[in-house]
Structure 1
Amino acid sequence: MKRFATGILSLMMLLTLAGCRGEEKTPDKVEEENYKIGIITGTVSQGEEEFRAAEKMAKKYGDMIVTATYPDNFSTETETTISNVVALSSDPEVKAIVFVQAVPGASAAIDKVRETRPDMLFICGVAAEDPATIASKADIVMLVDEIGMGTAVIEQAKKQGAETFIHYSFARHLSYATIAARRELFMKTCEKLGIEYVDVTAPDPTGDAGVSGAQQFILEDVPRQVEKYGKDTAFFSTNCSMQEPLIKSVLEQGAIFPQQCCPSPYHGYPAALNISVDGHEGDIDYMLEQTKTKVEEGGNAGRMSTWNVAVNMLMVEAGVEYAIEFCEGNTKDTLDEEVLFGIINKIAGGEGKATISNYEDEAAGTIDNFYMILCDYYDF
């Protein structure tokens, strides 16, 4: 009888310890929990940065992470995007989905999932739909501060010696509220600082010419623009797949490149400059140093730059880490700014490294769950 009582007491102690959640979380600890987190990103050709970030999270947390991608031609294949998100949610253990980039179709996908999984946590980054709409569907929305960039990019270009600013985009992107608003600020800031602003219509990578056609256009057009306006011309494109050819051509022409559409040491620079990322996927300092060396060797020091944070990777990683805290019961609700901001700043390099603000919508006003992120420049 005494042996039986001792066994019961030991079992109760084990159950009590299993219920404790005060200790620091580790990947091994998280894997023991009965939940998973889904991540949906672009493919390597449309969004390599977030794709690699998803791989990094899967490597860190193992089977707890499940991944999927949206199609390259997402603007015309929204049903595929929706079905891929629904497929992630079909696993009852998936309690949260991190969606980066939240391309057109994201809102419809969330609606479809919530028909059967109303409690699913959705964290969306790089939102491409109407801000008020996507914010009403998702629990948390993140975006680079494209409005703030409307001033910051031009000021950076001016510091680098720009006399002309070339803006590559196309109709689909210019229909996005934040991109359109940023363009207006680009024009106003250029006028204020005495820089000539020039719009150039590029092929839409989701159109008939595809990604390769859009990239070829950039390679051919940058030399034409430099010949016309001179080397003190700054270039900017609103599309991710255009960054590699744009960086390559700007360096060859000795022109100016203030930042990518999604600023990051990993976005466009490694492929354009033949820098191997293998073994350095999360080493920001290594990538900045390697890029700086390549730019200096190309004779263009001080005329190219980016942020010192991989912002799309940050959104994926912050989304996953926040989802873990949510699933572990460590947030006050689906949205806990103290937890979210702490995670973002930690990934960005420390307290105050990221400036975070709410999106201000002309019609809806301040959107409480839509966050804009702005970081500092790193000059090569």
Structure 2
Amino acid sequence: MKKTVSLLLALVLVMGSFAACGGGGEVVEEDGYKIGIITGTVSQGEEEYQAAQNAKAKYGDMIVTATYPDNFSTETEATIAQVVGLASDPEVKAIVFVQAVPGAAAAIDKVRETRPDMLFIAGVVAEDPATIASKADICMLVDEISMGTAVIEQAAKQGAETFVHVSFARHLSYATIAARRELFISTCEAMGIEYVEATAPDPTGDAGVSGAQQWIIENVPALVAEYGVNTAFFSTNCAMQEPLIRTVAEQKAIFPQQCCPSPY
């Protein structure tokens, strides 16, 4: 019964964290347990970081937070250490990954060596879906696969003749992103839209977020000059969205949808 109550409370809190907005109603405090939330840093994912801080401000000491490193793709041991750190508090009964970045599955295994009853909720699954689903109690992910047709259909409605897919090797190794890309290609072909692949720097690499954003600012105008204003752009990375939206608007090109639609 206690595990069920903890799971329900964790679900309520993670949904509030994803929404990053306040809400009314009374907070019912349960003695003796806490919920850990692990997010990206401000530089990699300000929205999720602020969402966790908002949850902590609302629920107080019931919430404990940690962040995975900026270079999470290569620093999986640091991610594991942060999760183990959250679990070292015996009052923490559930841990929420706002993004289940590479290393999440290994972190869950490590924690369950000593805390087998720990509840895990994995949002934005970045590892193999089958693997993380076998580790976490609940996995949450938007329907990225259907975006493979929906985004192209929207771009066509906006008059797109060319579709530019901006990504990098790490993202293209994710099963869901790779499957969506294949749908982008086939849907473009079916609708008579030219598909163009553009490789940007990985924000977790040496260039960092600023380098990836600068690539967008410098290369989008050149791509519009090459393919024309009836060109739609899509990037697989959240940190690239703001400069991409701004630059596409300045170039009077087409922006059908963000990779992760959000008010941020």
Question: What TM-score does the superposition give when structure 1 sets the normalisation length?
Answer: 0.62
Q: Which amino acid aligns with 2:234?
A: F
Q: Which amino acid aligns with 1:254?
A: K
Aligned to 1:195: 193
Which consecutive aligned stretches of 4+ in structure 1 deviate over 6 angstroms post-superposition?
none
- Which stretch of structure 1 is more off in the superposition, 99-108 or 56-65? 56-65
Aligned to 1:252: 250
Equivalent pairs, count: 241
Identity %: 80
Aligned to 1:90: 88
Question: What is the SS of the residue equivalent to 1:33?
Answer: coil
Which ranges of structure 2 fall in alignment gaps of 5 or more residues?
A: 1-23
Match of residue 62, structure 1, among 40, 60, 75 = 60
Aligned to 2:177: 179
Distance 2:26 2:216 in 1: 43
Distance 1:97 1:116 in 2: 14
Matches within 5 A, 1:324-339: none
Aligned to 2:11: none
CA contact (8 A) 1:89 1:113 kept: yes
CA contact (8 A) 1:27 1:60 kept: no
Shift of 1:28: 3.9
Aligned to 2:19: none
Q: Which amino acid aligns with 1:121?
A: L
Question: What TM-score does the superposition give when structure 2 sets the normalisation length?
Answer: 0.88
Shift of 1:29: 2.1
Which ranges of structure 1 fall in alignment gaps of 5 or more residues?
A: 1-24, 267-380
Question: What is the SS of the residue equivalent to 1:124?
Answer: strand
Question: What is the SS of the residue equivalent to 1:265?
Answer: coil
What do residues 256-297 of structure 1 show as CA deviations (whole Å, max 9, x unaligned)?
11111111122xxxxxxxxxxxxxxxxxxxxxxxxxxxxxxx
Aligned to 1:163: 161
Over the aligned positions, Cα root-mean-square deviation in angstroms equals: 1.3
CA contact (8 A) 1:27 1:61 kept: no
Distance 1:263 1:170 in 2: 20
Shift of 1:33: 2.6
Question: What is the SS of the residue equivalent to 1:146?
Answer: coil
What do residues 327-349 of structure 1 show as CA deviations (whole Å, max 9, x unaligned)?
xxxxxxxxxxxxxxxxxxxxxxx
Aligned to 1:29: 28
Q: Which amino acid aligns with 1:167?
A: H
Aligned to 1:144: 142
Match of residue 219, structure 1, among 217, 237, 242 = 217
Shift of 1:27: 4.8
Aligned to 1:117: 115
Distance 1:122 1:259 in 2: 30
Distance 2:80 2:185 in 1: 36
Question: What is the SS of the residue equivalent to 2:134?
Answer: helix
Distance 2:28 2:175 in 1: 42
Shift of 1:26: 5.7
Match of residue 50, structure 1, among 29, 48, 51 = 48
Larger-gyration structure (1/2):
1
Matches within 5 A, 1:360-379: none
